Structure 1
Amino acid sequence: MAALSSAERLIVTVVSTVMQFTMSRFPMVAVSILYLTILVAAPGQLTHIVANFSTEATFLQWMTFMVPPALASAGLVALLQSHPPLRRSDVVLACVPSFALCAMAAIWAPRLLLVGLPSLLLTMVGATAMRQFARRDSRKAYKIVIRSTFACFAAVLIATLLSPIGFPVTIGPMTVMTLGLSFIGLFLGIATLHPGLAGAYFVTCLLAATLSPGNRPVPLFEPEVVPLRNAPSAGAAFEAWLKSRPDLGAYKKAGRPYPVIIASAEGGGIYAAAHAYLALSAMQAICPSFPVHLFATVGVSGGSIGTLLYSATTASRSETGDLVNCQSPGSIDQAIDTRPLATDLISPPLANLLFAQVADFLVPFVHVFPDSGEILAKAIAGMAPGNSHMSEPLRASWNPSASRPVTLFVTTDVSEGNRVVISPLDGAGAIGAASFPSGSITSPRDIASNEAAFISARFPWLTATARLQVSDNSFRILADGGYYENSGADTAMDLIAQIRELARLHAECAKGKPVLGDLGSCSCPVRMETSFRSSANWVGCGIPVFLAFMPISEAREGLPGYTYEDTPDPSQSWLGDPLTTMLQARSARGVLAIDRARAAFASPQDREMAQGSDVDNGFFPHVLPVSDLRLPVGWLLSPASVADMLAISANLEACGKEHDSNSSIATWTAGNGCRMKMLATLFNPAEVPRALGIKAHGRD
């Protein structure tokens, strides 16, 4: 074999030295790389938290978020001091997490440097002092760190289990993150000193993760606790709801069809939840009779949380009665309670993931602690403290004579890739899809509303997929509804198709033709009208209906299928392209679903509504410029961001006023205002002059 050249020997020496350095200091290197990766990747939720930390964090959170990495740095120095002995430069490596936190503060929230820089200095002093102590008595230092690590982890774990919501929220998301990463680093340091034991344990855990039966099932209400209620079909429920409307007389007197509104809310984490809640609540603040006409909401992922919050809070406070014309509410800030939207929903599941799930991992083949999804569902119920509607049984959540809408939550079946619609009705919005707990998947058990909403929002990796027991011996694994279609428009259009089919069957029945289905009384038929401003047929006891659709989604330029700019050098990645394709296809399906809905409501001459829209189209989208507002995809939103969203969601004065055409935010704000005014026209059948409303938007 030929001798190595000097250059080759140099390369071998360098590689060997780097490998030896890395392996002997693996825990410090691994944690440092993790912090630096977070710094470089700059995930939107983290930058949002840090940017608002200096103004919104409590004094306790200010003082504690830098403590865990400081203590972990000293602990790792003590653990690794004799394997082989560490140099002074290794102290710097141990302090990289604190350096990274200071860099995050300098980039995203400079005021945090008031805490970060002194903490960094103390971290370096502490790590240096621990190195000196460990050099004198490494065994004693080792024992101190081992005992302290397990004692602190046990204390944090107990606090998390006793107060799964309160404790993480109190210390805040930054402290939860740094505390969790610090424990991981220390556990890696302990494993490095016992490689044989650590290797055997790792293999055991790998087998457990592969062979274990899965997470604990989603908690359900047993029939002995919540008696089984018969769920009506979509058609029967709609007919019962329609005939109980208290303001039918106003439309019959005016000779106008009765407006029925279906709303859908797109996925996107907390910003989608906030958008759905704000859009629906703003419409109710403008038009007090809006919830009386809102038959159903369809939620996907974060949109499900928003529609549930609206249904349980704002809509439930509506007083059903005579029709009330729409008026400008004056200060929209005072008309809508935005406090639930600033609820910290990220700290509880993050703490569960970093503490409880790590502890669960220490006990292979047994699930001792609840998963993060169960914890987040409890946190969602806490968005409206004391409100029983947030967690009541789903079948009991809807009453046809009340003002709360039917809530449909869309999930994705992992094994089939199809939709599963969870709702209080039998098969509502589930054409070609499964439905639970009534319909194609009928169960004697019921599910809590907050659990149903969050099954729709289980997007990895913070929360695992849901394990749902659908019968005594059968389970379904359900994931985020956005995997199938992120807008909810497909499910909303299926529900609209079911309502239209009811009207068709009523018409056939009225002609004496035999029909199948649950029609109620076809002597008083439901009639579909395609124009609101035209005279409607109120002959006999039949009810003419005008269907309107309100999709709540992200604002997007252009139409699907069109390319508006050249891409001379697109990026390409052998590893990343499959994942990018999946995520982009997920988003594109939602955009296409809304586009198809628009075409279904538009006139044949202008299917894209490029020439504007009017009341008779019955299509009233509400959009949010997510990228312009730099909103995070996560579970924590600052009050300042909520205020920005509200300003865009319900600015009626922006409609018709001149604005900077180069400002996309101003353009979207004006569009929302005009479409809300158009929707308000549906609540003025008698055309009262002073009532709020416009008949068209975007037309000369």
Structure 2
Amino acid sequence: MGLSTITRGRRLRLHLRRARAGMPWNRVFRYLSDTAYITPILIGLASAWLFAFVPQMQEIYLALIERPDIARGVGGLLAVALFAALLYAWNHVEVTRRIDRIYPEHADIHFDRRIFRLRDIYCAVAASLPFVGILLGLAQVYRHVLDAESLRDSGGLPQGHALGTLSDLLDMVIASGAVTAFVWGALIVLLLRSGRHAVLVWFCALVALVFAIVPVAAPDWTLGATRFAGPLVTTALVLIEIAVLVRVVVIGLTSFLWLIRALPSWALLSTGRFPGLRYAVVAALPLIAFVFLVRGIIADRPDTQPLRAAALEHAGADLETSFKTWLHQRKPEGGGRYPVFIVAAQGGGIYAASSAGAFLAAMQDHCPAFARHVFAISAVSGGAVGASLFTAAFADSKASGRAPKAAVDVEPGCGSFVEPRELTKRLRTITEDDHISPVLAFLMPDFMRGLFPASLSAPEALSEALPFGVVGRDAILERSFVESFRRSDPSGGGKPALHGTGSRDVILTAPYSQSWPDAANTDLPALLLNATWVETGYRVAFSPFDLQSFGGGTLYSFRDVGTKAPDPSLIGAAVISARFPVLMPPFVSELGGGQRLTFVDGGYADASATATAFQLYEEVKRIGGDDVDVYLIALTDKLKALNATDVEPAGLEPVRSWIYDTISPLTTLLSVRDLQSRRAVTEASKALGDRMIVVQLDQRAFPLPLGWKLSELSSDIIRLTIGDPAGCTEPEAVKASDEGVRMAIRNSCELKRITALLTPKLVGSWQLSPG
């Protein structure tokens, strides 16, 4: 044993001497450090984190596996392989250049061979990282499917078409992992044997250039092409764009850094014939810089008084008149208190859109009088999208004569919730479509346009200068929902639509002001789509009536803000409410004179939409008096206790480091943002008591994505947890069940309360029976 150890030590010293080859150790380590090019490895690590831990990516895998969509799955893996090959080739080209530069300093062929081996290892590591991320993401999917299986089996919940095949789904996840590992291995072998790495880099650069130009030149074609290719392909192409852009930036900075460093010396060298001028320039430069700084500090600020006056101008319609007109059209004489619902639909991307759409559609499908009792829906972000899609689908159903009628004098009550009906099926079809791919395709074009001045980069300005229309990722998201809405039409379209003739999506694409044109002659609810005013932090909502009069100074309608209220399409207003930074650009409202207001996702002020709904509730209750019973229905996951007995722990042990100090401000902002929503829901719950109906959308039982792509399994989970009035059981059964089942049962009891309020009672001189 001792002899073996001595032999190994001698061999190690021999290898070190050979590696050193007579060179100083500092030079050896410098050469070794050049074998790893850090930028591709960092991009590979970022992509691994994206593929492994972002819930939206896991939802994409699940959507591909459960169909199964083999063509898009294989295409996605090949696109990821191209991205991984770019990382390999990029690392290979740069390290080879470095080795070629240092070779004349030692001219040792044996040393170079070992360096080349190290280069290939690092290149393979960079190319492997995306596939490692996908495999980790598939492991997360496997765990989610197991959770769904437990949720189904523990409570005897009905099986949707995705929930009914969970065992097969687990096998398919494993098979997908095996295919991914095979593609990974085959790619590495191919790259190790390939010698055209520079050609591969240029090819990827060409792909990135084409993928950046096509969305600008042909947005409609891009919408169809990206949805046809699928989100995994689109994600890989966006990563290729990012990698190419980073490479161009790195090369540019490296190439021109010498010029930036040389300019001061060149300027001083040019004054060599005039020494006095050289010293004068050196002395004057700090003074000139100081003058510019002072001028910037004390410069006249623009007059903000016209902006404030415009922002506070009262131009909205009257809520009291609107509500009394709405109530008079519905409430029969001598019918007692009329139930009035105000719904709050929280934000959260496609998860919130699907939840809001599923709840509203199920209630309307099975309780035809439901919409007549919903005066308004306060919605934010994804909830705004879901509420808008429901309103458009319901309007289309009424216009075509397919919707069950809810007469003024005879309300039909509620039927069984077992079988999904038209609105439920249609909303599900829309929200399960791929809305993330078009948005991803427009990320890089929007970023590149953002480098230019606003007057040149705006889509409107470019559309005037170019022979084709230019749109951004906000407009393409709107078009994606409109396209899905059209394709989901049960009748195939072509019939007259509400408020006019033409395509059946007219209420979705018509101006927002037409979505609630006449309170006396519509069964549609008023939509309050909340956004956040960037300059003030106030809530500003698209609303058919003014909000400033009862908003407490922090709530306005767009009618109350500015001299010219924006009037986008209904889906456009919903997307404005869902403009989360990075994924969506902010919305800008021009006031004239170079002044403008900026608005982003309404979730920054209140992600639950409950604050606006609660203020509207109090005003409606005051106006309606004894003629109405007002209820607030909150679709939220923000109902958590905020008292001394239920303080949430900050962590298991204190953390003190420079990393924690750096990220703690961002963590604090996100925590406060979440707290604002929880606080709004909790305060409303305490104030209203049994007048508040909470349908819980808790993601702790089953993690759901916040992006714009939803799988069938997640869609099933959402609809199961929303509940069914027939599933309301005794409290003892709730305590003994799984958390997800308990939530479904609680929600079922809340739905039972709503159906009880809609059960026909004494209307006029007639006594109606339930059913």
TM-score range, shorter chain: 0.7 to 0.9
Q: Is 2:163 the counterpart of 1:152?
A: no
Q: Is 2:694 the counterpart of 1:621?
A: yes
CA deviations 1:400-419 (Å, max 9, x no partner) are: 11111110111111111111
Q: Which residue of the partner structure matches residue 483 of structure 2?
A: 382
Query: Structure 2: which 5+ runs fail to align?
Result: 1-22, 100-115, 142-172, 262-314, 398-402, 463-469, 487-503
CA deviations 1:60-89 (Å, max 9, x no partner) are: 321222222244246425643631245332
Cα deviation for residue 328 of structure 1 reads 3.0
Give the residue type in structure 2 aligned to 1:639: E
Q: 1:415 aligns with which of 518, 528, 535?
A: 535
For 1:471 and 1:316, the matched residues in 2 are separated by 37
Q: Which residue of the partner structure matches residue 182 of structure 1?
A: 240
For 1:320 and 1:106, the matched residues in 2 are separated by 47
Q: Is the 8 A contact 1:98 1:120 kept in 2?
A: no
- The secondary structure found in structure 1 opposite 2:529 is strand
Q: Is the 8 A contact 1:396 1:424 kept in 2?
A: no
For 1:11 and 1:425, the matched residues in 2 are separated by 77
For 2:259 and 2:76, the matched residues in 1 are separated by 31
Backbone CA RMSD of aligned residues: 3.3
Cα deviation for residue 289 of structure 1 reads 0.4
- The secondary structure found in structure 2 opposite 1:627 is coil
Q: Which residue of the partner structure matches residue 708 of structure 2?
A: 635
For 2:475 and 2:524, the matched residues in 1 are separated by 25
- The secondary structure found in structure 1 opposite 2:571 is helix
Q: 1:425 aligns with which of 545, 551, 556?
A: 545
Q: Is 2:116 the counterpart of 1:30?
A: no
- The secondary structure found in structure 2 opposite 1:313 is helix
For 1:420 and 1:662, the matched residues in 2 are separated by 41
Q: Which residue of the partner structure matches residue 770 of structure 2?
A: 691
- The secondary structure found in structure 2 opposite 1:629 is coil
Q: Is 2:446 the counterpart of 1:357?
A: yes
Q: Which residue of the partner structure matches residue 569 of structure 1?
A: 652
Cα deviation for residue 160 of structure 1 reads 3.0
Q: Is the 8 A contact 2:606 2:677 kept in 1?
A: yes
Q: Which residue of the partner structure matches residue 533 of structure 1?
A: none
CA deviations 1:478-536 (Å, max 9, x no partner) are: 111111112111111222233244x3xxxxxxxxxxxxxxxxxxxxxx5x13xxxxxxx
Q: Is 2:165 the counterpart of 1:165?
A: no
Give the residue type in structure 2 aligned to 1:654: G
Q: Is the 8 A contact 1:164 1:348 kept in 2?
A: yes
Indicate the larger mover: 560-569 or 121-130. 560-569
CA deviations 1:407-458 (Å, max 9, x no partner) are: 0111111111111122222337744235344224342652211121111111
Q: Is the 8 A contact 1:70 1:126 kept in 2?
A: no
Indicate the larger mover: 396-405 or 551-560. 551-560
- The secondary structure found in structure 2 opposite 1:621 is strand
Give the residue type in structure 2 aligned to 1:270: I
For 2:669 and 2:688, the matched residues in 1 are separated by 29
Q: Is 2:328 the counterpart of 1:243?
A: yes
Cα deviation for residue 308 of structure 1 reads 0.9
CA deviations 1:283-333 (Å, max 9, x no partner) are: 222321010111110011211111111111136535452332423325243
Q: Which residue of the partner structure matches residue 407 of structure 2?
A: 321
For 2:611 and 2:628, the matched residues in 1 are separated by 21
Is the alpha carbon distance of 1:202 and 1:659 closer, same or farther for their aligned partners in structure 2, counting shifts above 3 Å?
Answer: farther
Q: Which residue of the partner structure matches residue 152 of structure 2?
A: none
Q: Is 2:355 the counterpart of 1:275?
A: yes
Q: Which residue of the partner structure matches residue 748 of structure 2?
A: 673
- Higher percent of residues as helix: 2
CA deviations 1:90-149 (Å, max 9, x no partner) are: 44134224442453365244322343233223322332233x346xxxxxx45x742x23
Q: Is the 8 A contact 2:538 2:605 kept in 1?
A: yes
Q: Which residue of the partner structure matches residue 394 of structure 1?
A: 512
Indicate the larger mover: 590-599 or 91-100. 91-100
Q: Which residue of the partner structure matches residue 389 of structure 2?
A: 309
- The secondary structure found in structure 1 opposite 2:192 is helix
For 1:16 and 1:52, the matched residues in 2 are separated by 48
Q: Which residue of the partner structure matches residue 545 of structure 1?
A: 628
Is the alpha carbon distance of 1:104 and 1:57 closer, same or farther for their aligned partners in structure 2, counting shifts above 3 Å?
Answer: farther
Cα deviation for residue 263 of structure 1 reads 0.6
Is the alpha carbon distance of 1:304 and 1:82 closer, same or farther for their aligned partners in structure 2, counting shifts above 3 Å?
Answer: same
Indicate the larger mover: 649-658 or 93-102. 93-102
For 1:464 and 1:362, the matched residues in 2 are separated by 14
For 1:342 and 1:476, the matched residues in 2 are separated by 34
Cα deviation for residue 679 of structure 1 reads 1.6
Q: Is the 8 A contact 1:160 1:167 kept in 2?
A: no
Q: Which residue of the partner structure matches residue 404 of structure 1?
A: 524
Give the residue type in structure 2 aligned to 1:459: F
Q: Is the 8 A contact 1:73 1:127 kept in 2?
A: no
- The secondary structure found in structure 1 opposite 2:578 is coil
Map residues 73-92 of structure 1 onto 2, 5 A cutoff.
73=87, 75-76=89-90, 79-80=93-94, 82-85=96-99, 86=116, 87-92=119-124
Cα deviation for residue 471 of structure 1 reads 4.9
- The secondary structure found in structure 2 opposite 1:411 is strand
Q: Is 2:372 the counterpart of 1:292?
A: yes
CA deviations 1:181-226 (Å, max 9, x no partner) are: 12332444455555445769999xxxxxxxxxxxxxxxxxxxxxxx
% identical equivalent positions: 21
For 1:114 and 1:408, the matched residues in 2 are separated by 48
Cα deviation for residue 562 of structure 1 reads 3.5
Q: Which residue of the partner structure matches residue 102 of structure 2?
A: none
Q: Which residue of the partner structure matches residue 296 of structure 2?
A: none
Give the residue type in structure 2 aligned to 1:551: A
For 2:24 and 2:573, the matched residues in 1 are separated by 61
Q: Which residue of the partner structure matches residue 637 of structure 2?
A: 554
Is the alpha carbon distance of 1:202 and 1:259 closer, same or farther for their aligned partners in structure 2, counting shifts above 3 Å?
Answer: farther
Give the residue type in structure 2 aligned to 1:280: L
Is the alpha carbon distance of 1:195 and 1:257 closer, same or farther for their aligned partners in structure 2, counting shifts above 3 Å?
Answer: closer
Q: Which residue of the partner structure matches residue 175 of structure 2?
A: 111
Is the alpha carbon distance of 1:198 and 1:407 closer, same or farther for their aligned partners in structure 2, counting shifts above 3 Å?
Answer: farther
- The secondary structure found in structure 2 opposite 1:599 is helix
Q: Is the 8 A contact 2:73 2:232 kept in 1?
A: no
Is the alpha carbon distance of 1:184 and 1:28 closer, same or farther for their aligned partners in structure 2, counting shifts above 3 Å?
Answer: same
Map residues 90-109 of structure 1 onto 2, 5 A cutoff.
90-104=122-136, 107=139, 108=141, 109=173
For 1:654 and 1:265, the matched residues in 2 are separated by 23
